[in-house]
């Protein structure tokens, strides 16, 4: 590390360039994290007797969560002392019972004296059961945490209340008349979540033994820093590539062999009991439990993840449920994914992903996130990355390519309006597939990337739906939709549902497949296409065939796609991680323009998937008819899904339809569908006319605001030529990162 001074700041540009070599640098950052933030790991080998080593295992949780009894069992299992702060520290220090002390001195002084006693106390190689109120005293917690790993016993509040009644606990800190135990527990959570390294998510009815085992397993996962790796969908067993971790795949986006990254061991599964605990939880809480399981704490510590989730899913969404589920007709439930700042489901991923990205990338070099958009991704990426801190915005920027004539007027205005200090959009006289290809070419051109690194200390990355950190948060809303069905009493946990999703790049529907892997009982994945129905044909015949197909422009432009990237992830899963097969299929697609799935895999695929498509006229009529029947306006993509669900879903279970955009993004078609003859050019006027229908859902306020605020900025134009695109990128980098030096 001789290149950096103490705060990791590099002063010499050339040195920085040499350090910005993607792989080595990220490895280094992960290594540094593992020796600084996780010093204990080295001492903790995987056998039980050495689990604790010289460090302590610190149990934290609310009163009644079982810290003392679990601590005793763990002490026995691990062959080490079990220390209870109440009995062994406080009562001995004070020479009186804790409840007497509390009665004597009152809450505030109690906390102070409790903290002081803990500050004087030290131990090693022990299991320590904290008191429920220790985490309210920061300095003593810092002191204690220095020498150990904090395990949070997360017990359902309802279970706690019952236990406390049973145990006849008379008084806890913070309790007075008018304040319920529930209120206290809610408040306490804010303190607990600051300190924990490992969460143990307890289920109703878990006995002490079970919780102790869960503690051990969670600690093992925490230590198993090398166990959760990713592979490329095209990786062949024979070549020994270095392991890829979460941070690597977030930074790299696409694997160097052209494949997509997937978790080597699949997605972790939650038990039915764990899912049931989430039925009453908020969206951000659901996200936290789900994503903690999928992101190793060595990459993103749970407390950091929590902070990110609070930023990602709060009042930047116009609905506090974030992704509400609405019942409008028959057995169809509409999962509204358009309440984010830019009005499409892309926000669900992109209000989250940039923060994760900024956390994972090394602090010493610049990043340019390249993104191709068929409309909605562009504004969502630009808006998402504009939410970063000022410091991060100075080193992370976005370059967005879109087909000049392939997106709606509102979408284009939105993209232009969303270009912040760290974002630029360029329109290309070509289609989406060109944009995607141009970006892929820049990535896989080592000369070009090497040049950018050397000249601008900049690495390229992507925020397209092929990036794992984009796909991952999408699992949450599929799970959330299902949990809402349970919460609304439509089904009990465990009964099946179908999902129906308007599909282009296969990201949204792939996330539903992952939600099923994690334990959400989805029966059929209904893949809805428009007239670009290559996926429908593929699901029916097993042949993915680009030959003779040209991209048709439709009223649902976000799914005007012929090369459905994330399908590769599904095929990899289907083929039992056979990277050779996937490799073969995709090189065949490259050279021959098609591939054919082996018969046995096609049969498997058809057990999961139903594919169908919706014509342009059916789409428009569906919007008109549904508005007539319910007063609700579907966007054009949602309408595609609705038409397909009407046609192919067998009505033996509920179907959750993904509403992927707010209708106002496609105002002209919607107005036409509603029978408006004369449609004004100005998008803002269009939205006002739409609003005069007083429809459900109501107008999208942040979208309206965006169009109103839009200044006279225009977006850049780019020729449909890969080398010109590269020049545009370089010009942008010059304006961004060069002037700094
Ligand atoms: C991006 C988009 C889609 C397609 O989603 P995939 O995950 O790429 O299949 C569908 N509808 C809308 C409105 C979109 O913006």
Ligand 1 binding pocket includes 346 (Cβ within 6 Å):
yes
How far does the centroid of ligand 1 lie from the alpha carbon of residue 244, in Å? 28
Q: Give the domain extent around 730.
A: 362-469+716-736
Q: Is the pLDDT of residue 85 over 70?
A: yes
Q: Give 12's pLDDT tier (boundaries 50, 70, 90).
A: very low
Any domain includes 219: yes
Ligand 1 binding pocket includes 503 (Cβ within 6 Å):
yes
Any domain includes 101: yes
Question: How far is residue 456's CA from residue 736's CA, in Å, rounded to a whole number?
Answer: 9
Q: Give 444's pLDDT tier (boundaries 50, 70, 90).
A: confident
Percentage of the chain with pLDDT > 90?
75
Residues 611-642 pLDDT 10s: 999 999 999 999 999 999 999 999 999 999 99
DSSP state of 344: B
Q: How many CB atoms lie within 10 A of CB 224?
A: 13
Mutate to test the pocket of ligand 1, among 377, 472, 507, 663 (most ligand atoms within 8 A of CB): 507
Ligand 1 binding pocket includes 567 (Cβ within 6 Å):
no
Any domain includes 112: yes
According to the 3-state scheme, what is the secondary structure of 558-588? HHCCCCCCCHHHHHHHHCCCCHHHHHHHHHH
How far does the centroid of ligand 1 lie from the alpha carbon of residue 346, in Å? 8
DSSP state of 396: E
Average pLDDT, the chain: 90
Q: Give 60's pLDDT tier (boundaries 50, 70, 90).
A: very high
351 — phi, psi (to 5°)?
A: -80, -15
| Residue range 89-99: mean pLDDT, rounded | 93
Q: Is the pLDDT of residue 320 over 50?
A: yes
| Residue range 494-514: mean pLDDT, rounded | 97
Q: What pLDDT score does 706 carry?
A: 83
Question: How far is residue 737's CA from residue 25's CA, in Å, rounded to a whole number?
Answer: 19
How far does the centroid of ligand 1 lie from the alpha carbon of residue 565, in Å? 12
Report which of 556, 506, 558 is spatially closest to residue 375, judged by C-alpha positions: 558
State the residue for tokens 């116009």. Answer: 318
Q: What is the DSSP string of 158-177?
A: HHHHHHHHHHT----TT--T
Mutate to test the pocket of ligand 1, among 337, 558, 563, 659 (most ligand atoms within 8 A of CB): 558
| Residue range 671-678: mean pLDDT, rounded | 94
Q: Give 17's pLDDT tier (boundaries 50, 70, 90).
A: very low
Q: Cis peptide before 70, with omega less than 30 degrees from 0? A: no
Residues 683-714 pLDDT 10s: 889 999 999 999 999 999 988 888 887 655 67
Question: How far is residue 234's CA from residue 643's CA, in Å, rounded to a whole number?
Answer: 35
| CATH at 114 | 3.40.50.300
Contacts of 450 by beta carbon, 8 Å cutoff, 6+ apart:
none
According to the 3-state scheme, what is the secondary structure of 221-264? HHHCCCCCCEEECCCCCCCCCCCECHHHHHHHCECCCCCEEEEC
Q: What pLDDT score does 217 carry?
A: 94
| Residue range 302-321: mean pLDDT, rounded | 97
| CATH at 408 | 3.40.50.1100
Question: How many domains would you assign to the chain?
Answer: 2
Report which of 195, 71, 84, 87 is spatially closest to residue 137, judged by C-alpha positions: 195
Q: What pLDDT score does 30 carry?
A: 54
Question: How far is residue 358's CA from residue 386's CA, in Å, rounded to a whole number?
Answer: 12
Q: Is the pLDDT of residue 15 over 70?
A: no
Question: How far is residue 530's CA from residue 528's CA, in Å, rounded to a whole number?
Answer: 7
Ligand 1 binding pocket includes 506 (Cβ within 6 Å):
yes
Residues 112-147 pLDDT 10s: 999 999 999 999 999 999 999 999 999 999 999 999
Question: How far is residue 734's CA from residue 546's CA, in Å, rounded to a whole number?
Answer: 38
How far does the centroid of ligand 1 lie from the alpha carbon of residue 514, in Å? 17
Last-in-domain residue among 154, 188, 223: 223
Report which of 141, 142, 136, 139 is spatially closest to residue 174, judged by C-alpha positions: 136
Q: Give 740's pLDDT tier (boundaries 50, 70, 90).
A: very low
Region of poorest pLDDT, from 413-422, 541-550, 565-574: 413-422
| Residue range 674-687: mean pLDDT, rounded | 90
Question: How far is residue 564's CA from residue 402's CA, in Å, rounded to a whole number?
Answer: 17
How far does the centroid of ligand 1 lie from the alpha carbon of residue 180, in Å? 45
Any domain includes 606: no
Atom of ligand 1 nearest to the CA of 376: 15
Q: For atom 14 of ligand 1, which residue has the closest CA?
A: 558
Report which of 279, 355, 351, 291 is spatially closest to residue 317, judged by C-alpha positions: 351
Q: What pLDDT score does 254 carry?
A: 83
Region of poorest pLDDT, from 209-218, 298-307, 713-722: 713-722
Q: For atom 15 of ligand 1, which residue has the closest CA?
A: 376
Any domain includes 9: no
Any domain includes 154: yes
Q: What pLDDT score does 487 carry?
A: 98
* Residues 657, 658, 662, 663, Cα dihedral to 10°: -40
Q: What pLDDT score does 572 carry?
A: 98
Contacts of 111 by beta carbon, 8 Å cutoff, 6+ apart:
133, 136, 137, 173
Ligand 1 binding pocket includes 508 (Cβ within 6 Å):
yes
Ligand 1 binding pocket includes 665 (Cβ within 6 Å):
no
Contacts of 1 by beta carbon, 8 Å cutoff, 6+ apart:
none
How far does the centroid of ligand 1 lie from the alpha carbon of residue 201, in Å? 33
Residues 270-294 pLDDT 10s: 999 999 999 999 999 999 999 999 9
Both tokens of 178, joined, read 């008018």
Last-in-domain residue among 174, 205, 223: 223
Residues 348-394 pLDDT 10s: 999 999 999 999 999 888 999 999 887 789 999 999 999 999 999 99
Ligand 1 binding pocket includes 479 (Cβ within 6 Å):
no
Any domain includes 671: no
Q: For atom 2 of ligand 1, which residue has the closest CA?
A: 558
pTM for the full predicted model: 0.92
How far does the centroid of ligand 1 lie from the alpha carbon of residue 420, in Å? 23
Residues 462-498 pLDDT 10s: 888 889 999 999 999 999 999 999 999 999 999 999 9
Q: Is the pLDDT of residue 47 over 50?
A: no
How far does the centroid of ligand 1 lie from the alpha carbon of residue 318, in Å? 20
Q: What is the DSSP string of 55-93?
A: SEEEEE-STTS-HHHHHHHHHHHHTS-EEEIIIIIIHHH
How far does the centroid of ligand 1 lie from the alpha carbon of residue 713, in Å? 27
Last-in-domain residue among 190, 205, 223: 223
| Residue range 95-107: mean pLDDT, rounded | 91
Atom of ligand 1 nearest to the CA of 561: 8
Report which of 150, 160, 126, 246 is spatially closest to residue 200, judged by C-alpha positions: 150
Any domain includes 231: no
Ligand 1 binding pocket includes 465 (Cβ within 6 Å):
yes
Q: What pLDDT score does 406 carry?
A: 79
Q: What pLDDT score does 66 carry?
A: 95
How far does the centroid of ligand 1 lie from the alpha carbon of residue 486, in Å? 26
How far does the centroid of ligand 1 lie from the alpha carbon of residue 461, in Å? 21
Q: Measure Cα distances from 390 to 110, 308, 395, 415, 460 in Å.
A: 41, 16, 9, 21, 20
Q: What pLDDT score does 36 carry?
A: 44
How far does the centroid of ligand 1 lie from the alpha carbon of residue 642, in Å? 15
Q: Is the pLDDT of residue 10 over 50?
A: no
Ligand 1 binding pocket includes 558 (Cβ within 6 Å):
yes
Question: How far is residue 351's CA from residue 202's CA, in Å, rounded to a whole number?
Answer: 29
Question: How far is residue 421's CA from residue 385's CA, in Å, rounded to a whole number?
Answer: 10
């Amino acid at each position: 590390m001789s290149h950096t001074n103490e705060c990791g700041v590099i002063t010499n540009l050339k040195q920085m360039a040499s350090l910005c070599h993607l792989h080595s640098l990220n490895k280094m950052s992960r290594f540094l994290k593992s020796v600084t933030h996780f010093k204990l790991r080295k001492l903790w080998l995987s056998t039980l007797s050495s689990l604790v080593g010289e460090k302590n295992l610190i149990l934290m949780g609310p009163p009644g969560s079982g810290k003392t009894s679990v601590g005793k069992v763990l002490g026995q299992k691990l062959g080490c002392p079990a220390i209870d702060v109440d009995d062994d520290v406080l009562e001995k220090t004070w020479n009186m019972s804790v409840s007497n002390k509390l009665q004597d001195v009152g809450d505030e002084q109690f906390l102070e004296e409790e903290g002081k006693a803990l500050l004087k106390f030290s131990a090693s190689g022990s299991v320590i059961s904290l008191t429920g109120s220790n985490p309210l005293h920061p300095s003593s917690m810092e002191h204690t945490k220095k020498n150990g790993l904090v395990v949070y016993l997360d017990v359902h509040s309802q279970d706690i209340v019952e236990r406390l009644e049973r145990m006849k606990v008379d008084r806890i800190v913070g309790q007075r008349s008018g304040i319920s135990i529930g209120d206290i527990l809610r408040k306490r959570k804010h303190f607990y979540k600051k300190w924990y390294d490992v969460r143990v998510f307890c289920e109703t009815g878990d006995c002490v033994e079970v919780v102790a085992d869960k503690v051990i397993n969670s600690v093992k996962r925490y230590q198993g820093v090398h166990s959760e790796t990713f592979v490329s969908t095209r990786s062949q067993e024979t070549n020994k590539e270095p392991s890829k971790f979460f941070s690597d795949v977030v930074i790299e986006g696409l694997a160097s062999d052209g494949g997509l990254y997937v978790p080597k061991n699949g997605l972790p599964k939650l038990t039915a009991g764990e899912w049931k605990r989430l039925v009453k939880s908020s969206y951000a809480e659901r996200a936290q439990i789900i994503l903690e399981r999928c992101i190793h704490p060595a990459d993103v510590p749970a407390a950091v993840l929590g902070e990110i989730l609070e930023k990602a899913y709060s009042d930047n969404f116009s609905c506090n449920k974030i992704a509400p589920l609405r019942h409008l007709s028959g057995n169809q439930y509409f999962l509204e994914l358009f309440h984010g700042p830019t009005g499409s489901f892309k926000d669900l991923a992109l209000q989250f992903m940039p923060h994760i990205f900024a956390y994972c990338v090394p602090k010493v070099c610049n990043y340019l996130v390249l993104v191709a958009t068929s409309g909605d991704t562009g504004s969502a990426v630009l808006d998402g990355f504009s939410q970063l801190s000022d410091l991060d915005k100075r080193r992370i920027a976005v370059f967005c390519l879109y087909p000049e004539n392939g997106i709606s007027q509102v979408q284009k205005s939105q993209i232009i309006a969303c270009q912040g200090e760290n974002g630029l959009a360029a329109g290309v006289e070509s289609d989406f597939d060109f944009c995607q290809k141009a970006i892929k070419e820049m990535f896989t051109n080592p000369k070009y990337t090497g040049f950018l690194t050397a000249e601008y200390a900049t690495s390229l990355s992507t925020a397209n739906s092929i990036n794992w950190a984009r796909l991952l948060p999408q699992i949450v809303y599929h799970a959330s939709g299902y949990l809402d069905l349970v919460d609304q009493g439509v089904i009990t946990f465990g009964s099946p549902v179908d999902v129906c999703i308007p599909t282009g790049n296969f990201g949204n529907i792939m996330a539903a497949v992952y939600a099923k892997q994690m334990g959400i009982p989805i029966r059929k994945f209904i893949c809805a296409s428009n007239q670009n129905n290559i996926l429908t044909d593929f699901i029916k015949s097993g042949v993915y065939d680009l030959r003779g197909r040209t991209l048709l422009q439709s009223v649902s432009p976000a799914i005007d796609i012929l090369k459905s990237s994330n399908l590769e992830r599904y095929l990899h899963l289907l083929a039992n991680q056979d990277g050779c097969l996937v490799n073969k299929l995709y090189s065949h697609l490259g050279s021959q323009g098609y591939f054919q799935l082996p018969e046995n895999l096609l049969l498997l695929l058809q057990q999961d998937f139903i594919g169908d498509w919706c014509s342009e006229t059916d789409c428009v009529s569906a919007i008109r008819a549904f508005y007539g029947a319910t007063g609700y306006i579907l966007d054009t993509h949602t309408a595609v899904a609705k038409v397909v669900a009407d046609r192919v879903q067998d009505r033996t279970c509920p179907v959750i339809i993904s509403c992927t955009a707010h209708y106002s993004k496609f105002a002209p078609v919607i107005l036409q569908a509603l029978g408006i003859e004369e449609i004004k050019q100005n998008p803002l006027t269009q939205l006002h006319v739409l609003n005069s229908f007083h429809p459900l859902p109501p107008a999208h306020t942040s979208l309206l605001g965006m169009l109103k605020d839009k200044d006279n900025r225009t977006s850049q134009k780019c020729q449909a030529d890969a080398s010109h695109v590269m020049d545009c990128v370089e010009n942008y980098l010059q304006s961004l990162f060069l002037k700094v030096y």
